[in-house]
Amino acid sequence: MPWRRSAQARVTLVAFPHAGGTAAMARPWPDALPAWVDVLAVQYPGRETRIGEKSYTRAIPLVEAIAGALAPGLPGRVCFLGHSMGALLAFLTARHLAASGHRAPDHLIVAGRRSPHLPDPFEPAHALPQDQFLARLRRLNGTPAAVFDHAELLELLLPMLRADFAVNETYRHDDDSPAPCPVTALGGTRDPMARPDELEAWRALAPLGLTTRLFEGDHFFLRSAQAAVLAHVTDILSGLASRAG
């Protein structure tokens, strides 16, 4: 989903949403980023403009589909930015593109996600009874409160949400192939899903360099601290733009 495309762009930022998220996560970003940045967002099946398509429940088939869609059209300098489940998918997509001989990103930003080689300390949620699954969603603080009071909307969203959780929770890291580019790991100061040491652990998969940065907030700091996050992203993209040829 393109939120800004320009013939004068020097860098393309590709957003990978969190579980239950949509391409709309990046809709406001162009207002906070320089005009020379194109902004695209991956729209997973099963939501918004792809509501009629079946959601994926496993990471690798979804990564292959995303890579197939991105491979033909990544011009110039490219940065992937993924949040939570999207961070895992951004990393795997970057690695898949490089391994298959396609254009890989020049930089990878992973937000709110522990390194994928670490074990998951949380009980899987995707198959929990509905009341327990909804309780987990509430604790994450990423779903608007009004959604929980709207039975018909919940019925529409729950299969997609469970599928996304399954993508994240069933992934097993069995390939230590590293990221094909430098990595920046972002976290929230109060995010139990990605503690500072778990962000630092991305170093094992980032031989071309890792930097980490914390922002005030919980798992959804990308939303609550958006201005500060995008200012930091702008610094990263400026570095890429200065190398554009």
**Catalytic residue positions?**
84
Ranges of the chain with pLDDT below 70 = 142, 145-146, 148-149, 151, 244-245
17 with 10: CB under 8 angstroms?
no
Pairing of strands 210-215, 183-188: parallel
Q: With respect to residue 132, please indicate whether it lies within any of the assigned structural domains.
A: no
Give 71-99 pLDDT, tens digit per residue: 887 878 999 999 999 999 999 999 999 99
d(CA 29, CA 15): 10
User: Residue 18 is part of which domain span?
Assistant: 2-121+173-240
Tell me the chain's radius of gyration from C-alpha atoms: 17
The predicted structure's pLDDT at residue 28: 96
Q: With respect to residue 138, please indicate whether it lies within any of the assigned structural domains.
A: no
Give 162-188 pLDDT, tens digit per residue: 999 999 999 999 988 999 999 999 999
The predicted structure's pLDDT at residue 141: 72
Q: Give the 3-state secondary structure of 179-196.
A: CCCCEEEEEECCCCCCCH
Cβ burial, residue 198 (10 Å; 0-12/13-18/19+) = middle
CB atoms within 10 A of CB 104: 22
DSSP letter for 141, please.
T
Cβ burial, residue 214 (10 Å; 0-12/13-18/19+) = middle
The predicted structure's pLDDT at residue 135: 87
d(CA 98, CA 4): 25
CB atoms within 10 A of CB 234: 17
Q: With respect to residue 137, please indicate whether it lies within any of the assigned structural domains.
A: no
Q: Residue 17 belongs to a domain with what CATH number?
A: 3.40.50.1820
What is the crossing angle of helices 151-169 and 130-140, to 10°? 80
215 with 184: CB under 8 angstroms?
no
Q: With respect to residue 155, please indicate whether it lies within any of the assigned structural domains.
A: no
The predicted structure's pLDDT at residue 142: 67
Q: With respect to residue 83, please indicate whether it lies within any of the assigned structural domains.
A: yes
225 with 238: CB under 8 angstroms?
no
Q: With respect to residue 56, please indicate whether it lies within any of the assigned structural domains.
A: yes
The predicted structure's pLDDT at residue 60: 97
When divided into structural domains, the chain yields a total of: 1
The predicted structure's pLDDT at residue 151: 66
The predicted structure's pLDDT at residue 156: 76
Across-strand partners of 187? 214
The predicted structure's pLDDT at residue 74: 80
Cβ burial, residue 147 (10 Å; 0-12/13-18/19+) = middle
164 with 83: CB under 8 angstroms?
no
The predicted structure's pLDDT at residue 10: 92
Q: With respect to residue 130, please indicate whether it lies within any of the assigned structural domains.
A: no
Quick one: which of 233, 240, 235 has its CA closest to 74?
A: 240
Q: With respect to residue 140, please indicate whether it lies within any of the assigned structural domains.
A: no
The predicted structure's pLDDT at residue 163: 95
